[in-house]
Amino acid sequence: MTQNVNTVQQDQPNQVSAFRLWVQRIWIDNCEEHLTYNENPYTISEYWNKNKWFLKRLYKDYKGK
């Protein structure tokens, strides 16, 4: 007996990486800072596109400590 082709099996549920959670926390802090000064905050994708290399370097330093 064969399985239905449309059946999707996952061994483990999708898990969010520690890096992604860390970036999201940094972005939320940035949004709060912008709102403090009555500025429009960036969306998460805008923030990522503008700061991805900085965030990667900052995370490496964060994990190294």
**DSSP secondary structure string for all residues of 3-65:** PPTT----SS-----HHHHHHHHHHHHHHHHHHHTT-PPPPHHHHHHHHHHHHHHHHHHHHH-
Give residue-wise pLDDT tens across range 4-61.
555 445 555 678 899 999 999 999 999 999 999 999 999 999 999 999 999 999 999 9
- Residue 64's pLDDT is 85
**Predicted TM-score (pTM) of this structure:** 0.72
- Reply yes or no on whether the pLDDT at 1 is more than 50: no
Amino acid identity for residue 43 in this structure: T
Instruction: List the structure tokens of 19.
Output: 């890096």
Residues 6+ apart with CB under 8 A from 41: 30, 31, 34, 35
| pLDDT number for residue 42 | 96
